[in-house]
Amino acid sequence: MDFPGVLLLALGLFAKFSGEDFLHPLLSNSLVIELLLASGGAIILVSSFRLFRLLRDKARLQQSSR
């Protein structure tokens, strides 16, 4: 569920720390890198909240079925 977020975050980190633009020239733009990092982090954060909510609901359902 959070694979796109991880992919965006990884691409942003790669572009930030590689210093080279051999993958794509657009990755040398600092605004694009910051947008990749922010959007990837936001997607990961939202999917983590969803996951924790689902795990909490699952535990609640398992306790009520006993």
Q: Domain limits of the chain? A: 3-64
pLDDT of res. 18 = 86
Which residues does the chain have with pLDDT short of 50?
none
Predicted confidence at residue 65, as pLDDT, reads 82
Instruction: Name the residue type at position 21.
Output: D
The two tokens of residue 28 are 């040398």
Sign of the alpha-carbon dihedral angle for 50, 55, 60, 65: positive
Q: Which two three-digit tokens encode residue 3?
A: 């694979």
Tokens 């796109």 belong to which residue? 4
> Which positions ≥6 away from 47 have C-beta within 8 Å?
1, 2, 5
Report the chain's C-alpha Rg in angstroms. 17
The pTM assigned to this predicted structure is 0.83
Q: What integer pLDDT is reported at residue 5 of this predicted model?
A: 95
